[in-house]
Chain A
Amino acid sequence: MLAATGRLIIQACEEAGRTLRLLVAALLYIRVIHRSHKQLVRQLDHAGFGSIVVLSLVAGLTGMILAMQMGTELERYGALDSLGAIIGATFCREMGPIWAAIIVLARVGSSMAAELGTMVVNEEVEALKIMSIDPVRYLAMPRIVALIIAMPLLTTMADVVGIAGGAFVSHSLYGLPYDKFILSAQSLLTSTDFFSGLFKSMVFAAIIGAVACDRGLHTKGGAEGVGKATTVSVMLNVLFVLVGDYMLTAIIQFLTRAEII
Chain B
Amino acid sequence: MTDSQQPLAKEWTKEEMEQAVDMPPVPEDKEIFVRIRNLHKRFGPRHILRGIDLDVYKGETLVVLGVSGSGKSTFFKHLMGTHTIDEGTVEVGGRHLDHLSTDEWGAYRQDLGVIFQMAALLGSLTVLENVGLPLIEVERAPTEEIRERVIEALHRVFLPAEEILSLRPDELSGGMRKRVGIARAIIQNPRLILYDEPTTGLDPVTVSGVNELTLELQKTLGVTSLVITHDMEAAFTIADHIAFLYNGRIVAYGTVDEIRANEHPVLRQLLTGSTTGPLTEDYVK
Interface set of A (CB-CB < 8 Å, partner B) = 35, 42, 119, 122-124, 126-133, 138
Extra A-B contacts (7), CB below 8 Å, given A122-B123, A131-B138, A133-B137: A35-B137, A126-B77, A127-B114, A129-B82, A130-B80, A132-B105, A133-B134
* A131-B137 in contact given A126-B80, A126-B82 (Cβ < 8 Å): yes
Chain B stretch 85-134: residues in CB contact (< 8 A) with chain A: 105-106, 109-110, 112, 114, 116-118, 120-124, 133-134
Cα-based distance from A42 to B129 in the complex (angstroms):
15
Docked complex Cα distance between A119 and B77 (Å): 17
B16-57 interface bits toward A, Cβ cutoff 8 Å, 1 = contact, 0 = none: 000000000000000000000000000000000000000000
Query: Which residues of B sit under 8 angstroms from A126, Cβ to Cβ?
Result: 77, 80, 82, 116, 120
Contact of A131 among B81, B109, B117 (CB under 8 A): B109
27 A-B residue pairings within 8 Å (CB atoms): A42-B124, A122-B118, A122-B123, A123-B120, A124-B120, A124-B121, A124-B122, A126-B77, A126-B80, A126-B82, A126-B116, A127-B116, A127-B120, A127-B121, A127-B184, A130-B80, A130-B82, A130-B114, A131-B134, A131-B137, A132-B106, A132-B109, A132-B110, A132-B134, A133-B133, A133-B134, A133-B137
Q: Chain B: which residue is nearest A139 at the CB level?
A: B122
CB neighbours of A138 from chain B (8 A): 137
**SS class of chain B's interface: helix, strand, loop or mixed?**
mixed
Q: Are A124 and B123 in contact, with the CB atoms below 8 A?
A: yes
Query: Are A119 and B116 within 8 A (Cβ)?
Result: no
Closest to B113 in A: A130
Q: Given A123-B116, A123-B117, A130 and B109 touching (CB < 8 A)?
A: yes
Q: In the complex, what distance in Å separates the CA atom of A122 from the CA atom of B77?
A: 14
Nearest-CB residue, chain A, relative to B133: A131
Q: How many angstroms from the CA of A45 to the CA of B81 in the assembled complex?
A: 35
A130 — which chain B residues lie within 8 A by C-beta? 80, 82, 109, 112, 114
**Which residues from chain B contact A42 at a C-beta distance below 8 Å?**
124
B127 to chain A, nearest CB (A): 15
Q: Which residue of B lies closest to A127 (CB)?
A: B120
- Within 8 Å by CB of A132, from B122, B124, B138, lies B138
Interface string of B51-86 (1 = CB under 8 A from A): 000000000000000000000000001001110000
Task: Give the 10 A-B residue pairs with the shortest CB-CB distance, closest first.
Answer: A123-B120, A127-B120, A131-B134, A132-B106, A132-B109, A133-B137, A123-B116, A130-B114, A124-B120, A126-B82
